[in-house]
Each structure stands twice: as structure tokens, then as C-alpha cells.
Chains A and B, each alone.
Chain A
Amino acid sequence: MELFLKILAAVPMTLLVTLASFTLGAVIALPLAATRRSRFILVRGIGKLIIDILRGVPPVVFVFVLFFGLGADIIRWEPLPAAIVGLGLISAGQLSEIYRGGMLAVHRGQYEASAALGLTGASTFASVIGPQAFRVAIPGMVTWLISLLKDSSIVSTIGVVEMMFIANQSARSSADGLMPFVIAAIMYIALGTPLAVLSRWLEKKLSFGRSA
């Protein structure tokens, strides 16, 4: 019971890391997704390269590069900001692809109609394409949020005191090595399941006109 409460007390930190890096990623992903539709091949190429790197490097390696690599002499930072920036950038890579999928799902005619109405590029995106693309992207975004919740466990390796950190510490210091991990697993599942249900519900709700 004491163990349970100890791990429970670390839930806010797990949620903080997850939500902060998701928010950071959701914002950075916007310009990143925009590069993929640029007129200039160089911009498209660089955008694709950045996204491939962010998606291709294992999250823990990326966080290590930021924390131990850059942290050694370039920027000295605490584990928490390093964790949020690291997972945030990885989220940006993933979410930009989800946004792109959303934009591809909007019919070409919508762009043409906006152009015919004389809308500027910005207002085409803000009031015509954006809202429709976002609708398609939402279930994918929730799915990524669930993955991110689980990936947030890796930041325990750089010393952020979240659920996994406490579980690992308890397993090492107490006689019972199994229980802390069982409790941590249950907590992750308990946090992730409502999100999974939400994702499924949103997918049904938002798939207008399309047979799921």
C-alpha cells in the first residue's frame, strides 16, 4: 500500500512530462508540416530530413544526446527541461506526419475553391483547410499521446523523478523486486485506457461520410 502511494505520487510528474512535450510538439509540428508543402524543393528536402531524423532516432538516444551530449559543455540543464524538449521534438516529428495526413485528406477542390474566392494563403489555411484537416488528424494525435505517455517512462534514465524512476528505485531498495513494476504497469494502463477509448470514440464521431 505504501509502495502504491509512493508510485501514485509520481503520476503528476509523468503527466507533466507527457502533456508538456505533447504541447511543445504540437506547436513545432505546424511549421514542420508546412515545409512539406513548400514550393521550394530545398525547403521540402530539409523538412523531410528533419522529420526522418526525429522519427528515426530512438527516443532514449535522442534524450541522451540532449542531456549528456549537449549538457556536457554546451547547455547545462536540469533533467526535466531536457526531457520535455527531447520528447517534444520527437513529438513534433510524429505529429507533423499526422498533420500532413490530415491535410492530404482534404479534397483538392477545397484549395481550388478558396483560390477562386480570392482567399489569401493564410486565410485559406486558417478557415478552410485547417479545420477540416484537424478533424482528420485528431484520432492520430490521441494515439500519439498514448504512445508518448508510455515513452515518458524513458526519461527516468536521465533522472526525472516520475513513475518509472520511483518504481525502479523501489525495486532496487526493497526486498520485493517485482511488485513496483506491476504497480507501475497497472498505472500506465489505467492512464492510457481512457485515452484509447477516447481515440476510438473520436474516430467514429469524426469520420463523417466515410465508412470506418
Chain B
Amino acid sequence: METLTNWLEWSPTMLQGLWVSLQVTLLALLFGVPLGLVLAVLSGFKNRVVKWIVIIYIEVGRGMPALVMLQMVYFGLPDAGIVLSSYTATVVALALTTSAYTSEIIRAGLRAVPEGEIEAANALGLKSSDTMRFIIAPQGFRIALPTLLGFAILILQVSSLAFTLGLPELLSQAYSIGASTFQYLSALTLAGIMYLIITVPGGWLVEGLEKRMSRHLV
């Protein structure tokens, strides 16, 4: 009972934190996914230099932990003369990570578009840029959608690491409530539940989409 009254009392602060978590997640996706699309297209380029730079970028972005990326942007970049607020630094770091991961997801989607579609577009005399824009990209994106959505949920989870930069997101709020009331377990559990309220139905949505899209493929 006491826990519930506490939770009720804390929830406005925690919801504010959740809102910050959602903001940085959405902004990271807003910048990261289009960048991922560009990288996916560039990685298919014939030009070796472009291709290798892109591949190295993707491998580095996927190979390093998101926590390293966050701290590098926030604590490291000021040494290179770039000082960012914790909010901006979080968005930048998460967007960079997002771009590296989503480029691979989108690339797989683009590759899954049947060869015949491309041949048909060529036979109709479409320019290769038009083939990409009207034929491959829309279908590839559709194929990649469930995986991208799954990744979006993952990025919300990763955004909790921004507490190490002092960003007042959900985990920071829960932790500071815990620190001031000494009720860490209760406060952190509420934070966990708030994440679950978004991630679990999100997971079901991804599963549902996957089933729906594979329905006519079998």
C-alpha cells in the first residue's frame, strides 16, 4: 500500500523523465534512420573509397558499445573543441549509433526486393535513381519495417544510459528519487515498469507485423 502511494506521488516526476527519454529516442531516430538509408545506398556504390569509408563507419558504429559512444561525445568531444549539452550529446550519440545499425537493416531490406522488379524497371527504361526511388526503396523499407521498429524499442532502452551524462531522463529521475528517499528498490522498479509499458506492447507489435508480412510469402 505504501509503495502504491509512493508511486503515485513520484509518478509526475518519473513521467517527466519518461518524456525526456522518449524525446531523445525519437530525435535520434529522426536523424539516424535517414542517415542509415543514405549509408545503405552508399555502401552499394561501385567507388571503392566511398564504399570502404562507409563500411568502416558502419562497423565501428556497430562494434562499439553505445555507452562508449555517449561518453565519447559528451566527455571526449569538448577536447576537440566541440561542447554539447547533455541533451544534444545524447541525441547525437544515439543518432550515430542508430545510423550504423539501421543502415544494415535497411540494406538487408533493399536486397530482399526481388531481382525481377529491378530487371522490369530496367526494361521499362527507368533511370537507376528512379528505380531506387520508386521501386526498390518503398518495398525495401516495407520489408525492413518490423526490424526497424524492433530497433526503435532497443534505442529507447539504450537511452537509459544517458543518465551517465546527467540527462534528466527516466532512470536519472528514479535514481535521484531513490537517493533522496532511500527507497531505491521501489523507485527503480517503477522506472522498470514504465519502460515495460512501452517495450512489451512494442514487442508484440513487432511480432504481429512480422507475422502479417510473412503471411503471403509462404
Instruction: Tell me whether A181 is interfacial, beta carbon within 8 Å.
Output: yes
Q: In the complex, are the beta carbons of B188 and A189 less than 8 A apart?
A: no
Alpha-carbon distance between A197 and B153 when the two chains are bound, in angstroms: 27
Q: In the complex, are the beta carbons of A74 and B185 less than 8 A apart?
A: yes
- A55 — nearest CB in chain B belongs to which residue? B203
Instruction: Tell me whether A133 is interfacial, beta carbon within 8 Å.
Output: no
Q: 0/1 per residue, A117-133, Cβ < 8 Å to B?
A: 00000000000000000
B180 CB to closest chain A CB (Å) equals 13
Name the contact of A64 in the complex, choosing from B63, B69, B72, B175 (C-beta under 8 A): B175
Q: Which residues in A have their C-beta under 8 angstroms from that of B72?
A: 178, 181-182, 185
Main secondary structure of the interface of B (DSSP, over half): helix
Instruction: Tell me whether A69 is interfacial, beta carbon within 8 Å.
Output: yes
Quick one: given A55-B203, A57-B192, A182-B72, are A69 and B185 in contact (CB under 8 Å)? yes
- B184 — nearest CB in chain A belongs to which residue? A68
B193 CB to closest chain A CB (Å) equals 9
Instruction: Tell me whether B64 is interfacial, beta carbon within 8 Å.
Output: yes
Q: Which of A23-31, A102-110, A149-157, A198-206 sits within the interface?
A: A149-157
Name the contact of A59 in the complex, choosing from B59, B157, B163, B188 (C-beta under 8 A): B157
Query: Which residues of chain B in 139-177 are interfacial with respect to chain A, using CB atoms and an 8 Å cutoff?
Result: 156-158, 160-161, 163-164, 171, 174-175
Q: In the complex, are the beta carbons of A181 and B171 less than 8 A apart?
A: no
Q: In the complex, are the beta carbons of B160 and A171 less than 8 A apart?
A: no
Quick one: given A65-B192, A178-B80, are A56 and B68 in contact (CB under 8 Å)? no
Q: 0/1 per residue, A170-190, Cβ < 8 Å to B?
A: 011000111111101100110
Instruction: Tell me whether B50 is interfacial, beta carbon within 8 Å.
Output: no
Q: Which residues in B have their C-beta under 8 angstroms from that of A87?
A: none
Q: Which residues in B have their C-beta under 8 angstroms from that of A182?
A: 72, 76
Alpha-carbon distance between A100 and B65 when the two chains are bound, in angstroms: 27
Instruction: Tell me whether B75 is interfacial, beta carbon within 8 Å.
Output: yes
Instruction: Tell me whether A58 is interfacial, beta carbon within 8 Å.
Output: yes
- A184 — nearest CB in chain B belongs to which residue? B68
Instruction: Tell me whether B38 is interfacial, beta carbon within 8 Å.
Output: no
Name the contact of A189 in the complex, choosing from B60, B76, B171, B186 (C-beta under 8 A): B60
Q: In the complex, are the beta carbons of A69 and B71 less than 8 A apart?
A: no
Alpha-carbon distance between A59 and B64 when the two chains are bound, in angstroms: 16
Q: 0/1 per residue, B185-196, Cβ < 8 Å to A?
A: 110110110011
Alpha-carbon distance between A185 and B64 when the two chains are bound, in angstroms: 5
Q: Which residues in A have their C-beta under 8 angstroms from that of B200?
A: 52-53, 56
Q: Which residues in B have their C-beta under 8 angstroms from that of A71?
A: 184
Q: Give the number of chain A interface residues (Cβ < 8 Å).
A: 44
Instruction: Tell me whether B11 is interfacial, beta carbon within 8 Å.
Output: no
Alpha-carbon distance between A164 and B76 when the two chains are bound, in angstroms: 13
Alpha-carbon distance between A151 and B200 when the two chains are bound, in angstroms: 20
Name the contact of A185 in the complex, choosing from B68, B78, B183, B185 (C-beta under 8 A): B68
Q: Which residues in A have their C-beta under 8 angstroms from that of B192?
A: 53, 57, 61-62, 65
B81 CB to closest chain A CB (Å) equals 11
Q: In the complex, are the beta carbons of B185 and A188 less than 8 A apart?
A: no
- B77 — nearest CB in chain A belongs to which residue? A178
Q: In the complex, are the beta carbons of B78 and A177 less than 8 A apart?
A: yes
- A172 — nearest CB in chain B belongs to which residue? B75
Alpha-carbon distance between A59 and B71 when the two chains are bound, in angstroms: 17
B139 CB to closest chain A CB (Å) equals 21
Quick one: given A154-B67, A177-B79, A181-B71, are A65 and B185 in contact (CB under 8 Å)? yes
Instruction: Tell me whether B52 is interfacial, beta carbon within 8 Å.
Output: no
Q: Can you list 8 A-B contacts with CB-CB less than 8 angstroms, sorted by A residue number?
A: A53-B192, A53-B196, A56-B196, A58-B157, A69-B178, A178-B80, A182-B76, A196-B63
For the complex of A and B, 4 pairs with smallest distance between CB atoms: A69-B185, A178-B76, A189-B63, A58-B157
Interface set of B (CB-CB < 8 Å, partner A) = 59-60, 63-69, 71-72, 75-80, 156-158, 160-161, 163-164, 171, 174-175, 178, 182-186, 188-189, 191-192, 195-196, 199-200, 203
